[in-house]
Amino acid sequence: MKSHFIFYVSNQEKSTKFYELVLNKKPSLYVPGMTEFKLTQESIFGLMPTQGIKKLLGDKLPDPEKAERIPRAELYLIVDNPEEYHERALSAGAVELSDLQKRDWGDLAAYSLDIDGHVLVFAKNIGSGI
């Protein structure tokens, strides 16, 4: 099974540049209406403009633009060097929510808001949780 995680974004180009800097990689797909970053063999992280999803699904979908900058999703990435990723996110315009700290579940994790208001977490497992 493969997984695609897609964030709806207000500006595809701006969000693509943000995630290129943060993830330190180029998109595997960049076409009008969709950007994709291959995270692993089995997972893809995508960016779709809000206008695109509205056009695709129509009026039955609540307007994602009405929730602009309100956290609606979280991307939790397990990486070897969470502090480096977190610092890149902050340098690219993310807003820090919580610095790198040991969490009750056994991860060392840092939280921020990306430029569209999604929660972005970089973590590393360091031991068993409580």
- Residue extents of the structural domains in the chain: 3-125
- Model confidence, pTM: 0.88
Fold that domain 3-125 belongs to in CATH: 2,3-Dihydroxybiphenyl 1,2-Dioxygenase; domain 1 (3.10.180)
pLDDT tens for the chain, residues 1 to 130:
899 999 999 999 999 999 999 999 999 999 999 999 999 999 999 999 988 888 888 888 777 777 777 777 899 999 999 999 999 999 999 999 999 999 999 999 999 999 999 999 999 999 875 5
Interatomic CA distance for residues 7 and 46, integer angstroms: 6
Interatomic CA distance for residues 74 and 71, integer angstroms: 8
Q: Tokens for 120? A: 């972005």
